[in-house]
Each structure stands twice: as C-alpha cells, then as structure tokens.
Amino acid sequence: MTRIRNLASAALLGASALFAFAPLARAQELPPDQLVKNVTVEVVELITKDREIQQGDRAKLIELIDAKVLPHFNFTAMTALALGHSWNKATPEQKKRLTEEFRTLLVRTYASALAAYSEQKLDFRPLRAKPTDTDVTVQVRVLQAGAQPVPIDYSMEKTASGWKVYDVMVGGVSLVANYRTEFNNVVRESGIDGLIKNLAAKNRRFEPGAAKR
C-alpha cells in the first residue's frame, strides 16, 4: 500500500518537478543550487498568491511556466535522451517537431502537478560538486506530513547561457528514462513521424479549453 502511494507521489512530484524554475536577472552567474532555490521559491510564491491560478486557471499557469521555468530547461537534450538511438536517425526537421511536441507535453504535465501543489515544505540540499564541474545534480526534498520525503533531483549541465536542466528524477524515477520505452515502442511500430503524430494528437486532446471533468 505504502508502495503504491509512494510510487504515486513520485509520479505526481515527477510531473511537478519542473515547476521549480524561474529566470533571474543574473541567472547565468548563479551556481546551480542557488538557481534552483531562487526560482523555486519565486514560482511557488507566485502560484500560491495568484487567485486565478488557485482557482484553476490553467492557461495562466502555463503562461507562468513558459515565462519563468522553461528558460532553464534544455528541451533538445531531454528529447534526445528520451529517444536514445532513434534521435540520430531523425532529420533536423523531425528533431525540431519532436522537441516542440515533447515540450508541450511536459509543460502541460508540470502545470497539472503544480496545480496539485499545496504548501509542502521544501528542503534544499547543499550541492555536492566541485566548482569546476559542468554536470551536477541539484537535490531538493519535498517534505509532506505523514509520509517519507520525496527527493527531486535535477540533472543540470553548464552551458554558454547558464545552467540548464536536462533531466528530473523524482523519487528515483527519471522522467527522461521513463519516456524512453514508450517512445521507442512507437518509433518501432510507426517510425519517427508516427511518434510526432502520436505526441501531437495527445497534446491536442489535453489542450486547455478541451477541459476534462
């Protein structure tokens, strides 16, 4: 039972994990753990104070994520990692389309997860890395009453435009790795174009406005 619950909170938080980012004026100069902390605190504050978002305004929430969170993610890297081998077989145009669709899917998922956030406390762990490292894991733990804390690990890489997230692990579940089997199943059956179509159809089905329940 606890197993199911923990798995589910992992899934939930996995989805919510990306909410934690927002750009800052000096984002490029910040060390990765500081970056994560600052933007997490900022975004959490924004959403808990925004009445419309609190009342379920999904479009506004996505707007907020777009502005604050997305600049800190490297979606091309995430898509490449999720696709594995198939990525190299894709044309530049296909890569572009795939990245766009995957990004839409992830953003919508984060929005849902974020909407479920209810004032859990966050514990920002000190970074264990050398100053010269260019690939680090930033650890945050979500503390919740009556349950084991859920760790969220951001895999981040240093780029010319600052630190960028390329994977999020929630409760030990890597978001990128979790899409790999799914993606490869579709690619094997209907090719890369099939996957693009599949993702696009999925995204249209859940567009804000086409609200479910």
Partner 1 sequence: MTRLLLVAALAGAAVGCASTAERDPRDPWEPLNRGIYSFNDMLDTAVARPVASAYQKVAPSEVRLRVRNFFGNIGDVFIGVNNFLQGKFEDGVSDWARFAFNTTIGLLGIHDIATDMGYEKHNEDFGQTFGRWGAAAGPYLVLPIVGSSDVRDGIGWGFDFYTDPLNETKPFQARWGLVGLRLIQTRADLLDASRILEEAALDRYVFQRDAYLQRRRNLIYDGRPPREKEPDDEAGDKPQKPATEEKEMHDDPDQKPR
For partner 1, the closer of residues 113 and 192 by Cβ is: 113
Binding string, residues 31-70; x marks residues near partner 1 by CB under 8 A: ----------------------------------------
Least Å from the CB of residue 30 to partner 1:
20
CA distance 16 to 43: 12
How far from chain centre, in Å, is Cα 173?
12
Stretch that binds partner 1, among 22-30, 44-52, 58-66, 195-203 (CB under 8 A): 195-203
Q: Provide the H-helix boundaries in the chain.
A: 2-16, 32-49, 51-54, 58-68, 75-83, 85-89, 92-115, 175-205
3-state secondary structure of 84: coil
For partner 1, the closer of residues 59 and 147 by Cβ is: 147
Reference 44, options 100, 106, 124; nearest CA is 124
Are 15 and 110 spatial neighbours (Cβ–Cβ below 8 Å)?
A: yes
Binding region for partner 1 (CB under 8 A): 1-12, 14-15, 74, 76-77, 80-81, 83-88, 105, 108-109, 112-113, 116, 118, 135, 145-149, 151, 155, 157, 166, 171-174, 177-183, 185-186, 188-189, 198-199, 202, 206
